[in-house]
Each structure stands twice: as structure tokens, then as C-alpha cells.
């Protein structure tokens, strides 16, 4: 029992002596710009469209971050997921279907599973319905 307590005391002393640098505060601001689509008459909404419309299709886009292995750190370094680029893909696919709106828009985090040679990759999934509004 005394031997166990000595080991515990040494562990507490060692952990207490480790130099922990201060961690500064971090502010992360993210957003998506819909103005480029609105300027072209395209409508995005998280809600269903209540006016008359024709359903053009269901669209799902997934985009994953890039990654590169840094030998000096012995770890993977990840690039941004690129949510704006994913939204550009939703817009392009919807317009190709003849749509002028994308409704019931949902954003969800996703992950591409690791393989023997690559790490897991974080990503974003955007799903919704491409519609053509009737005037």
C-alpha cells in the first residue's frame, strides 16, 4: 500500500512539473454567401416551397477536405472542407435539371472513412430538392 502511494505521489509531482503553455482564445467565423445565386434569380431555402412549382429532383452533394502527411510532424494536415464549393455544386446540378430553386436544404457533417493509406476525411453533405417555381 505504501509503495502504491509513493508511485502516486511521484506521478502527481511529475504531472505538476510539466510546462503547459497557455492556450489563447480562438474565434472561428464561418458563413456561406448566397448572393451570387440570388443575383441570378435562384432561390435557396431550408423550408418547403409553398407556391406552385414543379419538382425537378433530389440533389445530394458531399465534399471532403484535402489532407497531406507532414513527415516532420508525423501527422496529417487537413485543408478546409469547402462548403461554398459544395453549395456551388448544388447550384450547378439544380440548374442542369432545369430548377430555379433549392428547398428543404439541409447541411450535415459527414466523414469519409480511413483506408490503409489515407486518414478519415471530414466533410459536409448538402441535400434538398431542386424545383422550378411557377410564376
Please tell me the predicted confidence (pLDDT) of residue 41: 97
Q: Please state the domain extents for the chain.
A: 36-133
The pTM (predicted TM-score) of the whole model is: 0.77
**C-alpha to C-alpha distances, 88 to 24, 26, 114, nearest whole angstrom:** 34, 28, 26
Please tell me the predicted confidence (pLDDT) of residue 17: 58
Q: Rounded to 5 degrees, what are φ and ψ at 75? A: -155, 170
**Tens of pLDDT, residues 83-126:** 999 999 999 999 999 999 999 999 999 999 999 999 999 999 99
* CATH for the stretch 36-133: 3.30.110.70
CA distance 113 to 130: 29
Please tell me the predicted confidence (pLDDT) of residue 121: 95
Please tell me the predicted confidence (pLDDT) of residue 67: 94
pLDDT at 58 over 90: yes
Cell numbers describing residue 120? 478519415
Amino acid at each position: 500500500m505504501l509503495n502504491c502511494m509513493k508511485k502516486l505521489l511521484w506521478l502527481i509531482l511529475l504531472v505538476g512539473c510539466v510546462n503547459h503553455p497557455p492556450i489563447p482564445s480562438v474565434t472561428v467565423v464561418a458563413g456561406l454567401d448566397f448572393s451570387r445565386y440570388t443575383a441570378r434569380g435562384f432561390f435557396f431555402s431550408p423550408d418547403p416551397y409553398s407556391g406552385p412549382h414543379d419538382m425537378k429532383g433530389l440533389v445530394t452533394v458531399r465534399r471532403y477536405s484535402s489532407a497531406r502527411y507532414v513527415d516532420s510532424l508525423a501527422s496529417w494536415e487537413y485543408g478546409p472542407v469547402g462548403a461554398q464549393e459544395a453549395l456551388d455544386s448544388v447550384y450547378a446540378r439544380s440548374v442542369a435539371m432545369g430548377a430555379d430553386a433549392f428547398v428543404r436544404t439541409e447541411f450535415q457533417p459527414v466523414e469519409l472513412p480511413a483506408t490503409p493509406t489515407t486518414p478519415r476525411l471530414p466533410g459536409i453533405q448538402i441535400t434538398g430538392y431542386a424545383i422550378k417555381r411557377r410564376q
